Structure 1
């Protein structure tokens, strides 16, 4: 458990904040460690700007590597490397169609994580 301390001079606002911290700690403690580790792995896989751009592109429609190269203006080896990371994390799936592999998002929930993060940053830029 994370220590949550208060001193005798705490204001009611600080006491309330500590109560929220305790609730957060309790909620985190009820999750299995393996779940928290997997969530961390997923967020790390989504952490690179190129991977964020790939997810946003795949949100629009499925694409093959050369389409991502053209759309994002990133070299093919780099796109392939980022797709491998996203695939290993279970974010994207590749389906072979002849000589090409077409990539798609595995789960729409994953795109919401990226869209919400981008929207959060864009909202903060206007302040």
Structure 2
């Protein structure tokens, strides 16, 4: 399951993803992602991707996560923050994917950790 929230006042786009992603969901997620990105000026917004409740990523969907991370970088948000999954396996998967695409965003264990900076 996933959710997109745009806060125009605070200039924040928050994406929350949790549970296991399925192939059908991944297509809908990418469509919503492109639609949402088309409605804002990314360089004026912070992107917060909350994955705290994301479970292990199925191997056949790793490419989706890689594509999303590359897109986050390409759009050049003011800040791109990923809230790490609680699941150690999901966290390791995410770090490996991020490293493979040279993702430049910030990883934190909680949103409060980033806000305290």
Q: Which has the higher contact order (CA 8 A, sep 6+)?
A: 2
- Bigger Rg, which one: 1
TM-score strictly above 0.5 = no
More strand by share: 2
Normalised to the residue count of structure 2, the TM-score between the two structures is: 0.30
Normalised to the residue count of structure 1, the TM-score between the two structures is: 0.28
More helix by share: 1
